[in-house]
Amino acid sequence: MDLPFAESWKIKMIEPIRKSTRIQREQWLKEAGYNVFKLKAEHVYIDLITDSGTGAMSDRQWASLMIGDESYAGATSFFKMQETVNKITGFKYVLPAHQGRAAENVLFSCLVKEGDYVPGNSQFDTTKGHIESRKAFAVDCTIDEARDTQLELPFKGNVDIQKLEKVLIEHNEKIPFIIVTVTNNTAGGQPVSMQNLREVSLLAKKFNKPVLFDSARFAENAYFIKVREKGYADKSIKEICREMFTFADGMTMSAKKDAIVNMGGFIATNIEDWYDLAKIKGIVFEGYITYGGMNGRDMNALAVGLDENTEFENLETRIKQIEYLAAQLDEFKIPYQRPAGGHAIFIDAPKVLTNVPKEEFPAQTLTVELYLEAGIRGCEIGYILADRDPITRQNRFDGNDFLRLAIPRRTYTNNHIDVIAVALKNVFDRRNSITRGMAIEWEAELMRHFTVKLKRL
């Protein structure tokens, strides 16, 4: 008999978590204005609000903290980080930043001007924010198939090359760079194939445009290339990463994802001009060029985390856990963005709560129901997050309306996953009795999901 699959690590340190009663949760959620961002974390049993900065560091990462070099300039910790990034990505210039959006802020301050167009696959919220706040336009050229949650495609995060070419022709002079997000978070943690990266790069060369990777989950993307794309089964994750980055001129990185640290990020590139410009902005916004808002110890942990998480076994353990949850949802027939992505399951809320009209925010309603059911905190990636159209001020109902269950790295066991699946099933079983959703009582003009106040209808 074949031995079953198991984690590639064992546990050395634990953190207690607590259950609560439904009556307590009803009170807490009401006080939070039915916005799970406003809950106290101690009132959450299993926290799936994000996989960002919530992973568990390894013993080697914790050990590296003790030998962090906190020198203001030229710290050994910086050089360790630079060397690791260089080895994994092939990029020579490395500029630390305190997290992903800070890296975006520094680089985009240099490159994005009013009236510009930045095409790519789906741009992440903060990326879009840093483009739109500079009065430029983010153009989403993701393949149309990504919108159909029930379609099984191996690389649903891909860029539609024809759409991209059209934008390149139409706005040629106004395009500072192309951005490819790996994996495509917004489309459901869906990977981009090597073939697609190659085609984007060829097209970019034809139009003489640089390519930037938003690389938060590049290692998970490499895993999918290895297991799904022809010709990569026998290559190591590190070899695949090196090849992926040959199709880019630079990267921004949120190290809170695939480098498994609680805080950190960087820009890396081979374009000397980009580096020279970014250095100046980096000093203004983040700090001197060899720390950029990070502690020496954190740069050490980042270097170790990046090295560990570009090893197959670590990634396999993670992605198999997402697949484990997906298999249970299949059994219960709960619809989600298929196939399961790299870091999360995205439940297709309007397909579950068919009696809740879109104006009453089905995904937010499902988020609330799951918390009330079992103290599990997911996150709405849907109509509330989509904000209003800046011109018409109407709600944007044209995208997907997901309840995202983001799984932190190396944090929960499959027993927790079982609890999540059954809690969802219990909500799913009473879905037809849920006929009303939520109404907005107060909202901010931008990024309203973080602070919105809601009421139950």
16-19: long-range contacts (C-beta < 8 A, 24 or more apart)? Answer: 17/45, 17/46, 18/42, 18/45, 19/45, 19/375
- Tokens at 397, concatenated: 């109902």
Listed ranges 20-28, 78-86, 96-104, 404-412: which one lies at the site for ligand PLP (CB under 6 A): 96-104
Closest approach of ligand PLP to the CB of residue 382, in Å: 17
- Tokens at 258, concatenated: 């695939």
Q: Is 404 in the site for ligand PLP (CB under 6 A)?
A: no
C-beta closer to ligand PLP: residue 126 or 295: 126
Q: Examine the residue annotation and report whether 214 is marked as an active-site residue of this protein.
A: yes
C-beta closer to ligand PLP: residue 50 or 310: 50
Residues 6 or more apart in contact with residue 29 via CB below 8 angstroms:
36, 39, 368, 371, 372
Q: Active-site residue among 257, 281, 343, 416?
A: 257
Q: Using an 8 Å Cβ cutoff, are 180 and 213 in contact?
A: yes
Residue from the set 64, 84, 126, 365 that interacts with ligand PLP by CB under 6 A: 126
Q: Is 300 in the site for ligand PLP (CB under 6 A)?
A: no
H or E element: which one contains 20?
none
From the list 12, 17, 5, the residue with the least C-alpha distance to 58 is 12
Q: Active-site residue among 79, 92, 125, 207?
A: 125
Residues 6 or more apart in contact with residue 352 via CB below 8 angstroms:
334, 335, 362, 366, 427, 428, 431
Instruction: For the segment 217-256, give every residue that binds ligand PLP (CB under 6 A).
Output: 254, 256
Tell me, by CB under 6 A, how many residues bind ligand PLP. 15
Q: Using an 8 Å Cβ cutoff, are 403 and 414 in contact?
A: no
C-beta closer to ligand PLP: residue 100 or 250: 100
C-beta closer to ligand PLP: residue 189 or 339: 189
Q: Active-site residue among 103, 216, 349, 423?
A: 216
C-beta closer to ligand PLP: residue 33 or 399: 399
Beta strands in 344-386 (DSSP E): 344-348, 376-377, 379-381
CA geometry: angle 308, 314, 317, nearest 5 deg? 165
The residues with which 190 forms a beta bridge, in sequence order, are 184
Closest approach of ligand PLP to the CB of residue 169, in Å: 27
CA geometry: angle 314, 319, 324, nearest 5 deg? 125
Q: Examine the residue annotation and report whether 124 is marked as an active-site residue of this protein.
A: yes
State which amino acid sits at residue 371: Y
Residue from the set 265, 342, 350, 378 that interacts with ligand PLP by CB under 6 A: 265
Determine phi and psi for 391, rounding to 5 degrees: -95, -55
Residue with tokens 């995208």: 399
Pair type for strands 250-254 and 265-269: antiparallel
Q: Active-site residue among 45, 91, 124, 361?
A: 124
C-beta closer to ligand PLP: residue 207 or 285: 285
Residue from the set 64, 89, 99, 364 that interacts with ligand PLP by CB under 6 A: 99
What's the CA gap between 181 and 85, in Å, rounded? 18
Q: Using an 8 Å Cβ cutoff, are 244 and 281 in contact?
A: no
Listed ranges 124-132, 293-301, 430-438, 440-448: which one lies at the site for ligand PLP (CB under 6 A): 124-132
CA geometry: angle 235, 239, 245, nearest 5 deg? 135
From the list 379, 401, 420, the residue with the least C-alpha distance to 35 is 379
Q: Active-site residue among 51, 214, 249, 401?
A: 214
Instruction: For the segment 190-219, give every residue that binds ligand PLP (CB under 6 A).
Output: 214, 216
Residue from the set 105, 142, 185, 193 that interacts with ligand PLP by CB under 6 A: 185
Torsion of CA 290, 292, 297, 299, to 10 degrees: -80
Residue from the set 32, 49, 52, 180 that interacts with ligand PLP by CB under 6 A: 52
Q: Examine the residue annotation and report whether 387 is marked as an active-site residue of this protein.
A: no
Residue from the set 55, 68, 96, 100 that interacts with ligand PLP by CB under 6 A: 100
Closest approach of ligand PLP to the CB of residue 256, in Å: 5
Residue from the set 35, 61, 105, 127 that interacts with ligand PLP by CB under 6 A: 127
Q: Is 124 in the site for ligand PLP (CB under 6 A)?
A: yes
Q: Is 130 in the site for ligand PLP (CB under 6 A)?
A: no
C-beta closer to ligand PLP: residue 185 or 365: 185
Q: Is 181 in the site for ligand PLP (CB under 6 A)?
A: yes
Q: Examine the residue annotation and report whether 416 is marked as an active-site residue of this protein.
A: no
From the list 350, 349, 327, the residue with the least C-alpha distance to 339 is 327
Q: Active-site residue among 72, 332, 397, 450?
A: 72
Listed ranges 120-128, 136-144, 242-250, 404-412: which one lies at the site for ligand PLP (CB under 6 A): 120-128
Q: Examine the residue annotation and report whether 125 is marked as an active-site residue of this protein.
A: yes
Question: Which residues are near ligand PLP by CB under 6 A?
Answer: 52, 99-101, 124, 126-127, 181, 185, 214, 216, 254, 256-257, 265
Question: Catalytic residue numbers?
Answer: 72, 124-125, 214, 216, 257, 449
